[in-house]
Structure 1
């Protein structure tokens, strides 16, 4: 049966309710498997600071507002927001303002995000008794901003009009709002039979994913164009690719294709799941080319492109002993599980999910040297301001 319009809406809403990085603080949690993203983000700080240097400074009487979209639940988002606000404090001071404005930071992600873990990681404000922001700024080990969580999809409006000075979003925009409906339609040429990801799929499947990504990005830009203050800026980082061929997803293909794909095939061959069950699962991720991204920004017309480039991010695997094949295999399985485990659990249940990721670990361990040499992420980095 082909998906109807109503089924697509339900599918999108269902994904929004359950999609999140794996919460908690366990071995496969996102909090314990985001070291590589933290390293990648820190390597791009100079690009972020260039964006911040272009933000217009308002009167210190007007609060300065930062929003992190797709914040997840690790320490990286807190570190980056701290960098943004401290950089802006220096800019206010260099411009001759005696006192900086008050700062607010909104941490936004889907309602299923583990906000509890995130908020427990937040440093306290300097004073528990209504102290001034100046006291907060002067206190070491305390955050110089007020914090709040904003649950919701960034493919819709999240904030009042003209309320945000700086938008930051890293490693999130490659997540689609839903798996393209044609990919799950057996009657469609885009039906991704035998696969759980776009990597290595046919041209029709790739085009369906590309169309979904560009439609989602257009919705993202329309929402941000209404929410950003005049003179504000937006810094975006998403998983990208260097190949012009969308069926070659680069690092994402090695993470969600190859050993992850083979592990699904293992479950089918062992009779643990039906082949149709595998075919009905697809990772809603698309690593765009720089042209994919540029086309949407230019067609929307709301934003001027200050910078748009492909940035070499490095490997997503962080291991202490590169020669230990077991550790490398476990690192890949945990990385994959940290970002896709919630979807896998919902599709096949906890027990089969354990079986799946144990096979991912085993297969990855057998190809440890190859993974360390070949697994490389590239990112699309964009700095945008209102046109």
Structure 2
């Protein structure tokens, strides 16, 4: 039954593969900086929150990185985990063998991922294709799960956004920054459905007492969607498409039917989802530095490298736009986007955003656990 559930189809637009100019490999230094900033929290999580019984009871310790993409960031994240584990394992008589599962959609560039694996790695590596909104692993088989900059992606855009008869029809927009309340509610509903499926699947896969680290970009608690920096950034991209529609480069109908399946959740929203699920305890919840490209953003800093930022966005979104509009518009679209970002760089100071680090621990028992 679990295998059948894991085969449910979800929209899949992985990061741009290969090692070209707009590849994720060459345009993900911002994500790397976030992983680096979380290193001490990961160490603290393992040292303080991982029970000795978990450490010393298994001959093989299994780690999964969900939404791993193509590297090299996933390798750094895994190495941070292993360094902390090896230090912690001094409490045991012997260090176990480590097995690391790299998981992403089946369309991910796994060839590049595995050809660039660290040669001196001290673990066994395996790939697990599929959406993390369903089961990916056998019951109680994982001891530590890591997921960075991935759960902001929904399983798909809400269907009602493309229904002309629906009050949530999102005409002329590709996201929800300045859309009506019905559009925002549709995105929220999709998020709530997805995060519950995510937590339900992980609760079945992670051993009791096991840990899960979630790192995600979102918005501070209480932020109105119109003030969200992630939404403002996507709204500018949507305005580029509407400019192209007015010039006849793309059809307006095509723009109407594109909705980017990204939701900027707040830490409070995730907390409520975890509490509603009932199978994990929240052990750590802290903010990480907000990174634009690979620089921390603080009061007074407004200058960014617009070309680097646009390449970063293209590495993440190119597959989605290519699938919807075709490849021929990509260069024009992202050149227009670069100009828009330069003209509206003030949004990086006025828009609200936060990077969150959350450590969850699989409860030993819960009345909500269902078979």
Please confirm whether the aligned pair reaches a TM-score higher than 0.5, indicating the same fold. Answer: yes
Tell me, in whole angstroms, the C-alpha distance in 2 between the residues paired with 1:159 and 1:55: 21
Q: Are residue 276 (structure 1) and residue 273 (structure 2) matched?
A: no
1:336 aligns with 2:313: yes
Change beyond 3 A, Cα 1:221–1:41 = same
Q: CA deviation at 1:144?
A: 0.8
The CA distance in 1 between the partners of 2:294 and 2:55, in whole Å, is: 42
Per the normalisation by structure 1, the TM-score is 0.84
Structure 1 residue runs without a partner (length 5+): 1-11, 125-141
User: How much has 1:212 moved relative to structure 2?
Assistant: 0.6
Residue of 79, 87, 91 corresponding to 1:90 = 87
SS at match of 1:244: coil
- State the distance in 1 between where 2:262 and 2:227 align: 10
Q: Name the CA shift for 1:296/1:253 in 2 (closer, same or farther; >3 Å).
A: same
What residue in structure 2 maps to residue 205 of structure 1? 183
CA-to-partner distance for each residue in 1:216-260, whole Å, 9 max, x for gaps? 0100111111111122111101121015245236231233122x1
- Structure 2 residue 16 is matched with structure 1 residue 13: no
Take 1:318 and 1:311, find their aligned partners in 2: how far apart are those partners?
12
Structure 1 runs of 4+ aligned residues shifted over 6 Å read none
User: How many residues are matched?
Assistant: 348
Q: Tell me the equivalent position of 1:232.
A: 210
Instruction: Check conservation: 1:254, 1:375, Cα contact below 8 A.
Output: yes
Instruction: Say if 1:311 and 1:248 are closer, same or farther in 2 by CA, change over 3 A.
Output: farther
Query: Is contact 1:34–1:74 with CA below 8 Å preserved after alignment?
Result: no
Distance 1:26 1:318, change over 3 A: farther
Query: Helix, strand or coil: the match of 2:63?
Result: strand
Q: Distance in 2 between matches of 1:181 and 1:380?
A: 28
Contact persistence 1:329–1:363 (CA under 8 A): no
Residue 191 (structure 1) aligned with residue 169 (structure 2): yes
Take 1:239 and 1:146, find their aligned partners in 2: how far apart are those partners? 30
Matched, 1:30 2:24: yes
| TM-score, scaled to structure 2 | 0.88
Q: Secondary structure of the equivalent of 2:17?
A: coil
* Native 8 Å contact 1:203 1:247 kept in 2: no
Q: RMSD of aligned C-alpha atoms?
A: 2.2
Which of the numbers 341, 347, 360 marks the counterpart of 1:384? 360
